[in-house]
Amino acid sequence: MPSPTAAGHTDVATQAPQASRRAAPPAAKAAAGVMWVYAACFGLPAIPVAVYLLRAGRLPWLFGAFPMYGGPWYDSGQTERFAAQLGAFLVALLAVSWGGWLLWRGWRAGAVLAVATIPLEALFWYGFALPFPPLLALIRVVLVITAWPRLRRLRPVIADDT
């Protein structure tokens, strides 16, 4: 029940609906975890890789096996452009992380964001030759589909000042 304000009006914004107190489904929390691990493992390294690229003029190698993010977009003569692309990838993965946060809290908006960002991410996966993120995206989609029926919709917050 909404609480009356000092003037006797009902303020709906101060009360969370009973449904929002419900815990997020386990599949939603698992999807959020997959999203956060993906963003941490592939997004955070973009910062030091971009810094190294701008200073050294070449990409660092991962354990001497292959250049990090060294896919078809890499051109040693375009280091500033490539560093900007790494920055754009980081921003995309920040959106993925935010979707994970919303999913962890049980909101459908997080599920929509989790799936809607995949086409943009796929461009980066191709450009940087990242082989594992498509598998993580598939896991994420399956978990989101599993959690969807139990996720909450965002409701507008309305204050009744009558």
The whole-model pTM stands at 0.78
**For each successive 10 residues of the chain (162 residues), what is the average pLDDT?**
52 46 86 96 94 91 87 84 95 97 94 96 95 96 95 70 60
- What is the reported pLDDT for 17? 45
- Give residue 57's identity as a one-letter amino acid code: G
| Pair 113, 31: CB distance under 8 Å | no
- What is the reported pLDDT for 16? 44
Measured CA distances, 33 to 100, 111, 124 (Å): 7, 13, 21
Bridge-partner residues for 107, per DSSP? 152
112 CB burial (10 A radius; 0-12, 13-18, 19+)? middle
Q: For residue 80, what are the contacts with CB-CB under 8 A and spacing of at least 6?
A: 54
Distance CA 53, CA 84 (A): 11
- What is the reported pLDDT for 58? 86
- What is the reported pLDDT for 101? 96
| Pair 90, 47: CB distance under 8 Å | yes
- What is the reported pLDDT for 4? 55
